[in-house]
Amino acid sequence: MSKPALGRGLGALLGGGGRLPNPVSPQPPISESANSVGIHPVPVTGPRRVPVDQIQPSPLQPRRDFTPESLQELADSIREQGIVQPLVVRAMGDRFELIAGERRWRAARMAGLTEVPVLERIASDREVLELALIENLQRENLNPIEEALGYSQLQELFQLTQEQVAQKVSRSRVVVANALRLLRLPAAVQSSIQTGQLSVGHAKVILGLNTPGAQESVVAQVIKQGLSVRQTEDLVSRQQLAATRPTPTPSTPMLPARDPHVVDLEGRLRDRFATRVSLRYRGGKGSVEIRFNSDDELDRILQVTGVSTD
């Protein structure tokens, strides 16, 4: 099943896919569909060329991983064909900051270009971050950790809820919540996800372990032995059993290991209700305990579940 399109007005913002001629072209129209993702870029100029050294990357760019091999391929293409689509920038004093097109800018420098085509826009920090996220998500350029960090930036810089972040980037709230959970992992584990040594499926299972040390230990085994997600689930179950099993005595029964699926679901419920949740499950039966510490917190939980107090 194909993914839904993101940022329907992005093509209009970026100026289409046509090759930019040397003369300055007329200002392309901004499609009303650009507003459908909540972004309102204000045009300043039509396509024009500016010195490549006058442009700087944006600190709000969620993408951090630019592989030398892919950049070299793009640089070779730029030498042959030029830059097909202008970069999108905003003025920052006497320089320009990238809104979209950092990979093209990096490759242009590698190719030895002295000037590049740009479209200048007026955009707020929030719009810059939203545009960068949408462009990268649409092109599937972000690794899972970069995507999670982008959501986290939107949430923290602009005090947005997970639901609001999801609406901004045309994702479901569950997708955003699951991505943000990856940021709970130790830096070394996140690095393994970024490099593709560890899949998101592996990471969800490893989140069932309670300590960074245990998580890093399991990751090392997963990578070394090339374990599948299912094999990782078995490994995590054994780790949990070893961590919770006391020295057996006649009066001390053995404690069963927690199912990693139950642990994962418990974490999702905790994210959903933003409070402590305990999930007990065995053989199709069990209970869910949701904690609250005030009437206001209870009201918020009831609103999340759609229960009215009237």
Q: With a cut of 80, say whether residue 284 has pLDDT above it.
A: no
Question: In which band, very low, low, confident or very high, does the pLDDT at 164 lie, cut at 50, 70 and 90?
Answer: confident
Into which CATH architecture does domain 10-32+39-137 fall? Alpha-Beta Complex (3.90)
**pLDDT per position as a tens digit, 172-202:** 889 999 999 999 999 999 999 988 899 999 9
Q: Over the chain, what is the mean pLDDT?
A: 75
Tokens of 225: 């032995």
- Chain centroid to CA 62: 8
Read off the pLDDT of each residue in 101-127 and give the average, rounded to a whole number.
86
- Which of 162, 115, 127, 104 lies closest to 9, judged by CA? 127
* Nearest-10 crossing angle of helices 260-273, 173-181: 120
Q: Which residues are catalytic?
A: 102
Going by their DSSP bridges, the two strands 285-290 and 95-100 should be labelled as unpaired
Q: Which residue has the higher pLDDT, 14 or 94?
A: 94
Q: What is the pTM of this model?
A: 0.50
Question: In which band, very low, low, confident or very high, does the pLDDT at 41 lie, cut at 50, 70 and 90?
Answer: low
Q: With a cut of 80, say whether residue 90 has pLDDT above it.
A: yes
Question: In which band, very low, low, confident or very high, does the pLDDT at 87 lie, cut at 50, 70 and 90?
Answer: confident
Read off the pLDDT of each residue in 56-67 and give the average, rounded to a whole number.
72
| Residue ranges per structural domain of the chain | 10-32+39-137, 143-184, 265-305
Q: With a cut of 70, say whether residue 149 has pLDDT above it.
A: yes
Question: In which band, very low, low, confident or very high, does the pLDDT at 140 lie, cut at 50, 70 and 90?
Answer: low
- Cβ(71)–Cβ(103) below 8 Å: yes
